[in-house]
Amino acid sequence: MKKALIVLIGIIFLGCEGKPDDQQARTPQTPSVPVKTFAARGGDLPITLEYPAKLVSSGFVEVRAKVGGTLFSQEYKEGSRVAKDAVLFVIDPAKYAAAKDAAQAAFNQAEREYKRTQKLFSSNAVSEKDRDATLAAYESTKAALENAALDLSYTRVKAPIDGFAGQIALDAGNLISAGTLLTTITKTDPLYAEFSFTNIEKLKTEYAIEKGDWANPVGIKVFVKGESGIEYRSEGRIDFVDASIDANTGSVKARAVLPNPKGELMPGQFARVVLTGIVKKNAFRIPSEALLQMPEGKFIYVVENGKAMRRSVTIEAENDRFLILSEGVKDSDQIILNNLLKLRPGSPVAPIPDQTPQN
């Protein structure tokens, strides 16, 4: 009886000892999530930078009368494009034409007297003093004639530059004096785009220009986007970068020259300048589908020891298909491209290398 009891207890003990092993064998393992991966490779990559800008005229002129008189006529349409030397106004020329005729007559008489005296002086018939007096009269009347001709030409008020002429300040028929403002001309081709580099030292140390340098950025090409996002493809260039940092903003002022032959852009317009021809050093180019955006920031998943691990990233540039990153990635990282919503930090994954070309 005693032996039977011991055997029964042993059987019960063995049965209890084996049960946890069976339960452990039946516990399901977390399956690995199949993911496509992209191998990161660092290098110097071309990027595009954008900055807010204000468009300003490359020339603004006040058109003023150079002689007085009655404003005879207006020869242009307000707000229209005018070419340099186009006639804008006519001032009554009668008085100035008469003055020129009188100056011409005086000059003709002085010229005849001078030539006659020259002949007499050659034959010692007049003194050197008489010859010099007629020469002085000749030169004086010649200058008076030139001045009278100039005043007559000023009665036709011409555009000093190409551009758009503004409203007239006075209607025809008004009596004006020299210096009276008649209209203004705004030059719109080219236009200037004024903007600021927010961190010029970072640009100098982390970015390179394809040609030139930051003091003479000849390699940077400039385009403009309007407030509505429309891109104007007239290619411009940077013609000025300030040598000092603005103490109030901590930024450096810059200016671009933009061709505007069709007048699509207007002075005073706010826009964004788009800079190309810049290279980011030691950057990584990855497919944009790898990016996740959360309230706490932007991040990607990479494969580490067969598990998905989260990395915060800094984006330098992006387009529809690719991102250029400067932080959060290192060479040969296997970046996960799909099934991102199924992943959590530490999730086991089964990588499938993606064939997306690096270039």
Q: Which of 81-95, 201-215, 246-260, 277-291 has the lowest mean pLDDT?
A: 201-215
Is residue 13 predicted with pLDDT exceeding 80? no
Start-to-end CA span in the chain (Å): 85
pLDDT at 72: 93
Q: How confident is the model at residue 191 (pLDDT cuts 50, 70, 90)?
A: very high
Confidence band (pLDDT; 50, 70, 90) for 265? confident
- Cβ(337)–Cβ(35) below 8 Å: yes
- With bands split at pLDDT 50, 70 and 90, how would you rate the model's confidence at 12? very low
Summarize the confidence of residues 276-295 as an average pLDDT: 86
Instruction: Write down the pLDDT at residue 28.
Output: 58
Question: Residue 61: its pLDDT value, please?
Answer: 95
Per 3-state DSSP, what percentage of the chain is helix, strand, and coil (rounded to 5)?
25, 40, 30
Position 3 scores a pLDDT of 46
Cβ-contact 150, 112 below 8 angstroms? no
* 46-72 pLDDT, tens digit each: 888 888 999 999 999 999 999 999 999
Cβ atoms 155, 32 nearer than 8 A: no
Buried b (16+ CB within 10 A) or exposed e, 290-309: bbbeeeeebbbbbbeeebbb
Lowest mean pLDDT among 226-240, 248-262, 282-296: 226-240
Q: What is the pTM of this model?
A: 0.67
Of 41-50, 104-113, 134-143, 349-358, give the lowest mean pLDDT range: 349-358
CB-based contacts of 191, cutoff 8 Å, min separation 6: 55, 56, 57, 58, 257, 258, 260, 265, 267
Domains, the chain, ordered by start = 33-43+282-353 (2.40.420.20), 49-57+197-281 (2.40.30.170), 93-154 (1.10.287.470)
In whole angstroms, how far apart are CA 293 and each of 34, 297, 313, 318, 337?
A: 22, 6, 10, 14, 14
